[in-house]
């Protein structure tokens, strides 16, 4: 298996020889205004340009959209991804949005798993914010609070990959680790936060909880250094890795970098 960091939560995962584009955020650097309630009130997103030509990024077999927030499936993705490309969504509601945009092969993920070119994709749950705050936060932002993760299996792959998605550490994540025992876990780790509502994805304490609960797994920190409401950066994580001697357990790839397993 291979994990190539593209930008923020956007990545290309090659699993069983099949290339999946994850959460395509393909717009130009700085095109998103500062996010209301951001801890970085002047910072525009994406912070960095794409590390590869768009044509190269789109050389994939399918797309997985864990949800449709602006930094996971943007207007450029809507326009540039071929409408015949298979796209997996978290549910029928997101599938309907993409079908209305002209995509002709949209497939909702399932808890029981769906198969694509011998890769089994199993939907997992997320908690995209702090308990008690989620409904109010996303209602205020006029966004769905739902997001999902995905477990990947293939008969020719010796390991299992768990893409946790936009979530904090919670019982959903713990349950996947307990039942699946994944070998590689991809976490969205920028500790993105909205003032007054707390973290909406993993930060240091969440990532450490994953490491502690899955001592056999390698953890990849994705969703880094590009959203305007981030509070944890790659430089912070790398300092933490050095302090805790986690060099073989926690990987923090640069945009464009490939991790091979």
Q: Is residue 260 part of a domain?
A: no
Average pLDDT, the chain: 97
The pLDDT value given to residue 172: 98
Q: Is residue 258 part of a domain?
A: no
Can you list the alpha helix ranges (DSSP code H) found in 53-133?
54-57, 75-80, 92-100
The answer to whether residue 142 scores a pLDDT higher than 90 is no
Q: Is residue 162 part of a domain?
A: yes
Q: 146-197: per-residue pLDDT in tens?
A: 999 999 999 999 999 999 999 999 999 999 999 999 999 999 999 999 999 9
The closest of 156, 220, 136, 209 to 183, measured between CA atoms, is 220
The pLDDT value given to residue 164: 98
Contact 125, 146 (CB under 8 A): no
Categorize the per-residue pLDDT at 134 as very low, low, confident or very high, splitting at 50, 70 and 90: confident
Range of the domain at 232: 2-252
Q: Is residue 261 part of a domain?
A: no
Q: Is residue 106 part of a domain?
A: yes
Number of domains in the chain: 1
Q: Is residue 167 part of a domain?
A: yes
With H, G, I as helix, E, B as strand and everything else as coil, classify residue 12.
strand
Q: 29-87: per-residue pLDDT in tens?
A: 999 999 999 999 999 999 999 999 999 999 999 999 999 999 999 999 999 999 999 99
Q: Is residue 25 part of a domain?
A: yes
Crossing angle of helices 171-180 and 204-213, rounded to 10°:
30
With H, G, I as helix, E, B as strand and everything else as coil, classify residue 49.
coil
- CATH number at 143 reads 3.60.15.10
Q: Is residue 257 part of a domain?
A: no
The pLDDT value given to residue 151: 98
The answer to whether residue 135 scores a pLDDT higher than 90 is no
With H, G, I as helix, E, B as strand and everything else as coil, classify residue 173.
helix
With H, G, I as helix, E, B as strand and everything else as coil, classify residue 57.
helix
Can you list the alpha helix ranges (DSSP code H) found in the chain?
54-57, 75-80, 92-100, 134-141, 171-180, 204-213, 234-244
Would you say the C-alpha torsion 131, 219, 3, 121 has a positive or negative sign?
negative
């Amino acid at each position: 298996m291979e994990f190539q960091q593209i930008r923020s939560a956007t990545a290309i995962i090659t699993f069983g020889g099949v290339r999946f584009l994850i959460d395509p955020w393909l717009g130009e650097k700085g095109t998103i205004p500062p996010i209301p309630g951001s801890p970085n009130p002047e910072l525009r997103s994406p912070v960095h340009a794409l590390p590869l030509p768009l044509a190269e990024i789109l050389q994939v077999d399918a797309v997985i959209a864990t949800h449709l927030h602006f930094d996971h499936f943007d207007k450029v993705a809507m326009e540039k991804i071929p409408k015949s490309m298979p796209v997996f969504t978290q549910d029928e509601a997101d599938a309907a949005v993409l079908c209305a945009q002209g995509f002709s092969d949209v497939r909702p993920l399932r808890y029981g798993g769906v198969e694509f070119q011998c890769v089994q994709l199993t939907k997992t749950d997320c908690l995209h914010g702090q308990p008690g705050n989620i409904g109010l936060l996303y209602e205020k932002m006029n966004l769905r609070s739902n997001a999902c993760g995905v477990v990947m299996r293939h008969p020719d792959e010796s390991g299992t990959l768990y893409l946790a998605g936009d979530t904090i550490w919670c019982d959903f994540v713990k349950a996947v680790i307990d039942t699946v025992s994944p070998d590689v876990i991809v976490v969205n780790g920028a500790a993105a936060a909205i003032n007054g509502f707390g973290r909406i994805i993993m930060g240091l304490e969440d990532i450490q909880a994953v490491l502690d609960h899955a001592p056999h797994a390698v953890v990849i920190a994705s969703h880094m250094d590009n959203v305007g409401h981030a509070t944890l950066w790659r430089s912070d994580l790398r300092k933490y890795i050095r302090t805790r001697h986690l060099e073989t357990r926690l990987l923090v790839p640069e945009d464009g970098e490939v991790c091979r397993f």
